[in-house]
């Protein structure tokens, strides 16, 4: 019974991973197509010299997709720039602000995505030749003093980045659909770690939030005081 349940959980995890991966690819494609900079300067981008090779390739690839064909003509571009729900996106202040937020999220994603690899190898008691995830000790320092699941948090943040690049409501819907999946993964990881580390991990759960790094930083700062 336990093996059947474990196999079923693995299958669900694999399906969910495929689901969020596909939607992530779609999100970045939409972010590229609907990015206000790209739409506004679609005809000027070919004059950027070192980017001149990008224009014919990206233009021809995307122009021939049936559902985006209307975008790649003056009427389509003019329509999307002057549609009520996208007009605000062409405000220069909003463009710059969204770009800055996107860059900040990308930096946070990189930190939470990479640091666990080093932290686990240095402090997790990983046997020689094993993957960094195969720890033998509970790690509660470094990035793990802020949140319990930095890499799942990085995955959730990755779905937010296209929103600030494309400024399109479809990207918001994709993020809403995918972010709960990363929370699901985090909950499953908690169960595994409780079985692995017992009471120590339960006490760790009480001290450190799962994915809310803002709350984690506040708690850590108060603790140091």
- What are the pLDDT digits (tens) for 94-114? 777 888 888 899 999 999 999
- Tell me how far the alpha carbon of residue 184 is from its chain's centroid: 15
Nearest CA among 116, 112, 152 for reference residue 131? 116
Q: What's the CATH code, domain 91-224?
A: 1.20.120.1630
pLDDT given for residue 65 in this prediction? 46
In whole angstroms, how far apart are CA 41 and each of 48, 77, 188, 208?
Answer: 11, 10, 45, 46
Amino acid 38: pLDDT: 55
- CB burial of 195-220 (b: ≥16 within 10 Å; e: otherwise) equals eebeeebeebeeebbbbebeebeebb
The pLDDT assigned to 127 comes to: 87
Measure CA of the first residue to CA of the last residue in the chain; give whole Å: 49
pLDDT at 70: 44
Q: Which residues of the chain have pLDDT under 50?
A: 1-5, 42-85, 87
Kindly state the tokens that stand for 6. 């474990």
pTM value is 0.72
Query: Can you tell me the distance from the alpha carbon of 150 to that of 214, in angstroms, rounded to the nearest whole number?
Result: 12
Give the span between the Cα atoms of 201 and 162, in whole angstroms.
34
Structure tokens at 78: 């003019």
pLDDT score of 183 = 93
User: What pLDDT is stored for residue 104 in this prediction?
Assistant: 93
């Amino acid at each position: 019974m336990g093996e059947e349940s474990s196999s079923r959980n693995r299958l669900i995890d694999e399906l969910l991973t495929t689901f969020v991966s596909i939607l992530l690819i779609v999100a970045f494609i939409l972010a590229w197509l609907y990015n206000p900079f790209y739409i506004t300067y679609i005809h000027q981008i070919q004059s950027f010299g070192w980017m001149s090779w990008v224009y014919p390739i990206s233009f021809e690839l995307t122009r021939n997709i049936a559902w985006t064909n209307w975008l790649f003509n003056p009427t389509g571009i003019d329509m999307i720039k002057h549609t009520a729900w996208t007009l605000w996106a062409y405000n220069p202040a909003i463009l710059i602000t969204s770009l800055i937020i996107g860059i900040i999220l990308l930096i946070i994603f990189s930190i939470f995505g990479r640091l666990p690899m080093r932290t686990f190898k240095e402090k997790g008691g990983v046997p020689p030749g094993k993957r960094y995830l195969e720890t033998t000790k509970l790690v509660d320092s470094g990035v793990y003093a802020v949140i319990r699941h930095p890499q799942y948090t990085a995955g959730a943040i990755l779905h937010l980045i296209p929103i600030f690049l494309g400024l399109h409501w479809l990207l918001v819907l994709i993020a809403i659909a995918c972010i709960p999946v990363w929370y699901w993964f985090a909950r499953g990881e908690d169960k595994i770690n409780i079985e692995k580390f017992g009471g120590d991990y339960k006490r760790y759960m009480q001290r450190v939030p799962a994915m809310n790094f803002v709350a984690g930083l506040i708690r850590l700062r108060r603790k140091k005081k």
